[in-house]
Amino acid sequence: MRLQKFLAESGVASRRASEAIILEGRVSINGRVVRTLGTKIEPGHDRIELDGQPLKTRRKIYIAVNKPPGFLCTRKDPLNRNTVFDLLPPEWAHLVSVGRLDRDSEGLLFLTNDGDFVLHLTHPRYGVRKIYQAAVEGKVHPPMLKRFTQGIEDDGEILKAEKARTISATNSKSVVELELAEGRNREVRRLFASQELNVIKLQRIQIGRIKLGELPVGKWRTLTDTEIKSLLAPI
């Protein structure tokens, strides 16, 4: 097995990020620091260490969580605020979130120890779509949605929805569904802010082909093999 694949399967990082770790000289095989990419190892026979700590492959875990509002996606918070890891068994404290939802947002979030899975679902080149429902103050008009799908420049970035549709709209409140391919930082909120609209509730309801469905708020479930394969399948 190639060393970078072993690091990814140990939950260290994606294969690409693992390559950088190797080049930095942080990995040793049987006590010898290795900086050569593509180095082959024998799991279970060779002793692999990262920063002096031994590694071993872990059983891959894939979890779907219905994140409540008010919870952070970080493992620990210096202000001791709630995090999604408070919702999980203690033995899963080593998992990482696949992308993030900001503290006030809610809905579908994946956690895993598979670095390649994280990369596939978060890197723009794979184009895995995420669908959000946003409740906003005020009325959303069709020209606004057209601007969303054409793309809006904000702080040096192009924010863009692949699809946008109004679910309901009154003069005081609208509910809009947006489908994103890249998912830049706080992208949905920034899109609406560009139209001077304030988001009062933001929920992610789908990632790839996996829907939030009936998963209760604050609860989790494991992804099935079929669901995992569907998420990794070419678009």
CATH number of 62-124+210-232: 3.30.70.580
CATH number of 129-207: 3.30.70.1560
Give the pLDDT band of residue 13 (cuts 50, 70, 90): confident
CATH number of 3-54: 3.10.290.10
202 or 94, greater pLDDT: 202
Q: Which residues are catalytic?
A: 102
Model confidence pLDDT, tens digit, residues 194-220: 999 999 999 999 999 999 999 999 999
- Give every CB contact of residue 109 below 8 A, 6+ residues apart in sequence: 64, 65, 66, 67, 73, 84, 97, 98, 99, 100, 101, 204
Which token pair is 152? 């809006």
Topology alike, domains 62-124+210-232 and 129-207: yes
Query: So where are the chain's domains?
Result: 3-54, 62-124+210-232, 129-207
